Amino acid sequence: MADEKTTHFGYQQVAWQDKASRVAGVFRSVAPKYDLMNDLMSMGIHRAWKRLTLELSGVRPGHKVLDLAGGTGDLAIKFSRMVGDQGAVVLADINDAMLSVGRDRLFDAGCAHNTEVVQVNAECLPFADNTFNTITIAFGLRNVTDKDKALASMLRVLKPGGRLLVLEFSKPVHRPLEKLYDLYSFAVLPRIGKLVAGDAESYQYLAESIRMHPDQPTLKGMMEQAGFMRCDYFNMTGGIVALHRGFKA
């Protein structure tokens, strides 16, 4: 046990191989109320964060898009419309409960004709090299155990010239905002979680996992290290969220 490899799960240290099942427990628990909670917690602002992601996606009719850790599929629905009949969208996630909500939403939105739903681990994507024009991973990378391995896997399945967009909670750039945000995250979020989803713990994990996630320059460096080119990022809502972008040469 003494030299067992560990990683963080929120503020807890857990065995490296146990993190994925702990994360799975969180998303299995929140899946039924995930979309409602997203709107409540962010006061709807997550829609604006996702709008910028769509705008910078470069997606055009005929493209192939991977929405990784795509959960309940809100980006995948938008991409399905953008790629049209000649294009294809893969909604991929490790969690069956999240995917099951996502598959129903895609179906209800009339997107079944050009979308596929696949259960995958971001660390070892089961797609051929050079498959996708664009990959998005929105609020997903934070939960992945081996982020470097996942970034390498995403680079492999991108087409040359294709782009990766990582939308993720990040580090607020103003001190007063950071204080207010901490108060909201640790005092308010778990309470909303308990009230609406009957689950305070998962929302405590959310707040903690955000603090453990690499900040903007660190994630940019990780993307460069993985082999992405022309990496940059855009802070939104004062850096509470950042959209990172990188290209495959």
Ligand X SMILES: C[S@@+](CC[C@H](N)C(=O)[O-])C[C@H]1O[C@@H](n2cnc3c(N)ncnc32)[C@H](O)[C@@H]1O
Dihedral in degrees, nearest 10, Cα atoms 184, 36, 209, 54: -110
Query: By the 8 A CB rule, do 196 and 1 touch?
Result: no
Say whether residue 77 binds ligand X (CB under 6 A): no
CA-CA distance, 241 to 249, in Å (whole number)?
26
> Smallest distance from the beta carbon of 118 to ligand X, in angstroms?
10
Which of 83, 168 has the CB closer to ligand X?
168
Only segment of 54-62, 135-143, 186-194, 210-218 that touches ligand X (CB under 6 A): 135-143
Pair of tokens at residue 247: 């290209």
Q: Which residue in 37, 64, 65, 70 binds ligand X (CB under 6 A)?
A: 70
Residue 96 among known ligand-binding residues: no
Residue 144 binds ligand X, judged by CB under 6 A: yes
Question: What does DSSP say about strands 12-15 and 88-93: parallel, antiparallel, or unpaired?
Answer: unpaired
121 is in an annotated binding site: yes
| Terminal C-alpha separation, the chain | 42
Question: Which of 65, 110, 119, 57 is CA-nearest to residue 87?
Answer: 65
Point out the annotated binding site: 72, 93, 121-122
Point out the annotated binding site for S-adenosyl-L-methionine: 72, 93, 121-122
Question: Could you list the residues that contact ligand X (CB under 6 A)?
Answer: 23, 27, 38, 69-71, 74, 93-95, 98, 121-123, 138-140, 143-144
